Each structure stands twice: as structure tokens, then as C-alpha cells.
Amino acid sequence: MSTPVFLILKSIINMVNIDENVKCSGAVIKIASRCNINCTYCYMYNLGDETFKLQPKIMNEETINALLNKIKLHCLVEDIKKFQFILHGGEPLLAGKDFFKNFIKKANNYLLPEITPTYHIQSNGILIDKEWCDLFKEYKVNVGISLDGVKSVNDQYRVDHKGRGTYDSVIKGIKIVQENNLGLGMLTVINIDANPVELYEHLKLLKIDNVDFLLPDYTHDNLPSGITETSYTRESTPYADWLISIFEIWFTDKDKLDIRLFKYCVCLLLGGKISFDYLGTSNNNVLVIETDGGIEPVDSLKICGDGFTKMNANVSTHEFSEALSAPLSKMYHLSKKKIHKQCTVCPLKEICGGGFLPHRYSEKNGFNNPSVYCADLIKLFTHINNRVIKEFSEEQREEFGNSGSISIKDIKNEIRESLKNVKEPTYVEELEFFKIEKAM
């Protein structure tokens, strides 16, 4: 007889396992390039990139028309039947309700019936009111709000332009969304100084539908808090330890939160396949469109330097296929295939995919590095694997093709021994294309 845990984990695989899709089937649309708050860790405004100052504050009608034309053409050529619009910013609600209604009506008119659009909006929640909720309901928009934890934790970094905490205003927006019977996802940037157990319990009390935990966006040139060196042999793993504390509660919680990071880890470790920036080996399939119509790869790459994401491609002059062929775009979309030499010999490469591309950057080597979080990822994935497998019989492990528990020591030893004989990948020049040559 199958154990309850086995059946739950099997249902997770059935729920998230999807076919790999190498096409661009969604876009992050920056409908507003300004924000009504000033998060200190924000990659858009506070980590070195200042190109937003040269862009329109709100996307104009001409850009919207050009964007929708290029999306429809791309979908028809690539036989894409569904396209996801992720309305983003800055703070997207700054664009206003009239803009919002006009954009979605126009997108539906452009794409239906050949292509089915879906809509998601990522907001800080402060501007949400009942009228906004009515619009979200009318146009079937999935709502995501950013919150980093309890008041003292959230207000450490998520502040307004006068340095005041935003927690109370965000909670007000969350309650309005829930009072209007809308589903709600949460985006939470990990703060290792926060109590992870307290955070989990707080999110459950808020009755959030699903949560995305994000590693803070840092590079080898600007290391995250708590990390002083990036070798895979590093003993200190504060980000893994933080996440493991939550995973242990989540794993046995009968009324568990929907946490994508954990759910997808389990899926991959048990032989599933997912498409996600942070995990797996599937090609990334989303482009970013700035308010001026500029076409870019993932916006987190702005942490690599001022103007780094600019590819001189625009919806008014370029097809999506042209933007996808630009060096940085190709690097992002194929980043799970073109990984550092160390990653090619790592037993966890099918889970990790070499790490999120921005976290692999350095001025010296471009993207020819492992993730700054490499040691943390090894510990996290090893722990999750061993915790899951502990619940399985030998027969159940065979069904999933999982050979059993693994040790951090064995993984590090295998990497160390394999590196003695492995050659540099043939694509090293592509990884290092983005390094910055220092003047002598």
C-alpha cells in the first residue's frame, strides 16, 4: 500500500510536470517604469542600473500596438496557442485603471481567438482598492503581491521614498484583495536575518494561496549578506539553512502552503521536468518589454551593470525572433545548457541547471562561474532529496528512478575528482563574451 506522503508527492509531479517549451510563450510587460516605494535591494533602481531614467514613465499607445502585433506574429509563426502577459514595473498600478482596461481589451482583440492570453500582475499592493479588484475579476487577472515577512522584517528593506516601512499599507491591500474573493500569490525575498519559522506561520495566518521565495539578486562582484566566498566547498550555507528550516515544517504540514521552490525541487528530484528560472534544465521562455518598447532578457540581469540588459531591440523595429538571437538573450534562454565547467560534473546539475544566470556573473569571467549560492544549493537539494526518500520504500524509489539518499561530502568529492580530468566546455567563449576587459 502506498504511503500518504508517497501519494502526495506523486500528485505534485502530476501537477507541475510539463513538456519543455523552447519558444517565447510569455512576456514581462513593464507598463510603468517608476515605483511608489523604494526597496533598497531593488535591481531596477538601487543596484547600479539607471537606464529607467531614460524611459517613459508609462507605456504609450503606439508601443502597445507594436508590442501586440509582434506577439501575435511570433505566436502564429511558432504555433503558440497561449501567451502569458505578466504586467510589471516599477509599480504597474501607477499606469492607472484606464490604461489597464485599454491594454487588456486591446490584447484580447488582437489575439483572440487564435491565441489565448492570460494575465498576471505583480504589485506591491499599496494602491489596490475595490475598483482595482473589480477589474482583476472582470479580466481574469491573477494577482501577486510582494511582502518579505512580519512588519519588522518587511520594513527593513521594503520602504517608501521617505524611508518609512510599507508593511501596514501592503497588508491593507492584501485584505482588500481577499475581501473581494480573489486568489493571491506572494513573492518574498529571503532575508536570512529573519526567523524562517515565524515567516512561514505568518504567511499561513495571512491565508496566502502560494508563495515564491527568491534568493536575493547578487553577483560574484557584489556578494549577498552572509556569504564571503563562493566556492562549492564553502561550509557556511546560511540560505540553505534558512530554507531547510521552512522545508521541514512544510513537508509534514497537512495544510501546507503552496511553495513553488519546494514543490519544483521535489518534482525534479523524482524525475519530473519543469520550466523555471531557478531550477531544472529547460530553456527559459520569457522576454521583458520595457515602457519604451525595448526587448530585453530577464530584468534581474540589471544587477550585472548599468545598461547591461540593453540589446538595441525594440518592438517598433524588431521581431521577437531577432531579439531572441541577440547574444545576451541567447545566453539567458540557453543558460541551463551552457554552464560552468564545475557544474557540468556536478551530480545535481539536472536540478540546479547551473544556477540562476544573474547569480553567475562576474566582471572578470562574464557568466563563466557557478552560482554565488552554489554551496547553499548543494545542501538544500541534498537535504530535500534525503528527506523525501526517507518516506519511500525501495519499490517506490524504483518507480521514481531515485537511487536513494546522497551526501554533501560525496557530491563535493565527485566534483573535485571529476574536475581533474574534465576539459573546458566548447562554449566558454560565449560565457565569457560578457566579461569586462579592464584597461591596463
pLDDT band for position 272 (cuts 50, 70, 90): confident
Query: CA 73 to CA 379: how far, in whole Å?
Result: 44
Q: Are residues 333 and 287 in contact, defined by beta-carbon separation less than 8 angstroms?
A: no
Give the model's pLDDT for residue 18: 40
pLDDT of residue 17: 46
Give the cell for residue 281: 534544465
* Chain segment 99-156, per-residue pLDDT in tens: 999 999 999 999 999 999 999 999 999 999 999 999 999 999 999 999 999 999 999 9
Residue-level length of the chain: 440
What is the pLDDT, as a whole number, of residue 23? 67
Of all residues in the chain, the percent with pLDDT exceeding 70 is 92
Residue whose cell numbers read 501586440: 68
Picking from 342, 367, 362, the residue whose alpha carbon sits closest to that of residue 422 is: 342
Distance CA 100, CA 182 (A): 17
Q: Where are the domains of the chain?
A: 215-283+334-434
With a cut of 60, say whether residue 14 has pLDDT above it: no
pLDDT exceeds cutoff 60 at 5: no
Task: Name the nearest CA neighbour of 167 among 195, 144, 147, 194.
Answer: 147
Q: Could you tell me which residues come within 8 angstroms of residue 440 by beta carbon, excluding any fewer than 6 positions away?
A: none
What mean pLDDT value characterizes the chain?
Answer: 92
59 with 31: CB under 8 angstroms? yes
* pLDDT tens digits, 29-63: 999 999 999 999 999 999 889 999 999 999 999 99
Q: How confident is the model over 211-223, as pLDDT tens digits?
A: 999 999 999 999 9
Model pLDDT, residue 205: 95
Worst-scoring range by mean pLDDT, 121-125, 364-368, 391-395? 391-395
Residues 93/95/98/99 CA torsion (nearest 10 deg): -120
Give residue-wise pLDDT tens across range 315-342.
999 999 999 999 999 999 999 999 999 9
pLDDT value at position 397?
67
CA distance 275 to 321: 20
Q: What is the CA radius of gyration of the chain?
A: 22
Q: Which three cell numbers stand for residue 131?
A: 475598483
Q: With 80 as the cut, is the pLDDT of residue 15 above it?
A: no
Predicted local confidence at residue 326, as pLDDT: 92
| Contact (CB, 8 A) for 151 and 165 | yes
* pTM of the complete model: 0.92
- Contact at 8 Å (CB) between 208 and 185? yes
pLDDT surpassing 50 at residue 7: no
* pLDDT(274) > 70: yes
| Contact of 298 with 376, CB cutoff 8 Å | no
Closest to 247 (Cα-Cα) out of 207, 208, 193, 211: 211
Give residue 412's pLDDT: 96
The pLDDT of residue 419 is above 60: yes
Average of pLDDT values for 405-432?
94
